[in-house]
Amino acid sequence: MLTTELPRRRFLHSAAGASLLSIPATARAIQETSLRLGKAESCLFLWLGGGAAHIDTFDPKRRGDGKKLAGSYYDSIPTSVPGVRVTEHMPQTARVMDRCVFVRTVSHAIVNEHAAATNLMHTGRSPSGTLQYPSIGSIVLDQKGHRSEDVPGYVVMGYPNVTRDPGFLGARYGYVYLTQIETGPNGLNRPPDVDDNRQRRREGLLGVLREDLTRRQPNDPDIRTQAAVSRQGFRMAGPRFLNVFDLKRESADLRTRYGGEFGQRCLLARRLVQSGVRFVEVSFNLNFLNGTGWDTHNDGQINQHLLIRDLDQAFATLVEDLERLKLLDTTLVVIATEFGRPPEFDSGGGRGHQSIAFTGVLAGGGLRTGRAIGATDELGAKVAERPISVPDFHATIHAAMGIDPHKNLFAGTRPVPITDNGAPIRELFG
């Protein structure tokens, strides 16, 4: 439970107007002192880069014609939760809806810039001229710590990007990235001519140099951090982590049920969580299937169903697989994208961008699932009930992970609220 007593210094600063926390944020923290934080130990963050159309996936509306009549591109079907529907191309997700929450009213103001919206969805803030804010993966790792020293705390399946960086938290809370799933990260795989004896000699020499440098510069935090990262890197090059990438250890039937490239990434993500990784982001990279990925301008709309079917198969199998292994209650699964799509079609039959109303998905994590939060209007063009800001969405993830969503991080000695005045979705917590 969050404490009902605000720290004296925080109260005095708020009263004097000197605190970095706003008075509304402090009032909100007081209101939420009875919130019971969740107990999720790991997070799987499925990223649909490009802007997935909410009205063609998790928030279907009346059917449009792909030309002048606005609406969804597909028919809808019922789910295991009465009154909640999804697109006809997500029958497997419909089956596991009772383990999910559709947050249908995520909203922000960045509509035309993919990069800026992606940064906002990963950090919860717009860029600052004085601070580089950390990504949500880095924040979770900072707050929860490594589950195991033999595996990384934070893995990104996709190319490195500043929006996933640790920012002012420092390199220890950065990520290991993967561009393919057949083997571990290239930097952790030995060249063929380096045997065990040669590797031990290399590690010994590096260890001597590292200890000498830290001894000569005992007060340099960057050197201490890099030394710790280096030591962890050699531990991660061991068999415990690299064996995770052998997907053939799973049954052929399970690998088939997960589906194509994205599904195999989700299977690997589950194995990473099983091995002790705290936060895994899985990027959906199948752009070639419809020519545009989730950025469905023009002709990208025509074959969007191929992406949706891949997502449906992988996501539902992941949820059921985690449940089978008794990991679903301790693993929070998130589906996120930078913005949604308007109900109107553009001149090429596709859709533009829409950030004022779109859907994020949460599953497992010990949440009270089997519901949709908020509602959009009859076409999904704007929020009709219960807007959820990006900071609110982040605060909900933090709370599910057992992290106080109202605490401060520190950039040196400077306090920085963990979210930008976000409030968790209360009804999802016991």
Q: What is the pLDDT along the chain (430 residues), one digit of tens a residue?
A: 443 344 444 444 444 444 444 445 554 554 555 789 999 999 999 999 999 999 999 999 999 999 999 999 999 999 999 999 999 999 999 999 999 999 999 999 999 999 999 999 999 999 988 999 999 999 999 999 999 988 999 999 998 999 999 999 999 999 999 988 877 665 555 555 655 566 566 556 665 666 766 777 776 666 665 655 555 554 555 566 889 999 999 999 999 999 999 999 999 999 999 999 999 999 998 766 777 899 999 889 999 999 999 999 999 999 999 999 999 999 999 999 999 999 999 989 999 999 999 999 999 999 999 999 999 999 999 999 999 999 999 999 999 999 999 999 999 999 999 999 999 999 999 8
CA distances from 199 to 33, 174, 203, 211, 240 (A): 52, 25, 6, 18, 17
Residue type, 22: S
Greatest distance between any 2 Cα atoms in the chain: 71
Quote the pLDDT of residue 180.
Answer: 82
Tokens describing residue 327: 């990991």
Distance of alpha carbon 54 from alpha carbon 56, whole angstroms: 5
Least Cα distance to 361 among 106, 3, 20 occurs for 106
Strand partners, 103: 360, 373
pTM assigned to the model: 0.85
Tokens describing residue 302: 């025509």
Least Cα distance to 357 among 380, 386, 337 occurs for 380
Element (H, E) at 265: helix 261-275
Pseudo-torsion of CA 320, 325, 330, 332, nearest 10°? -30
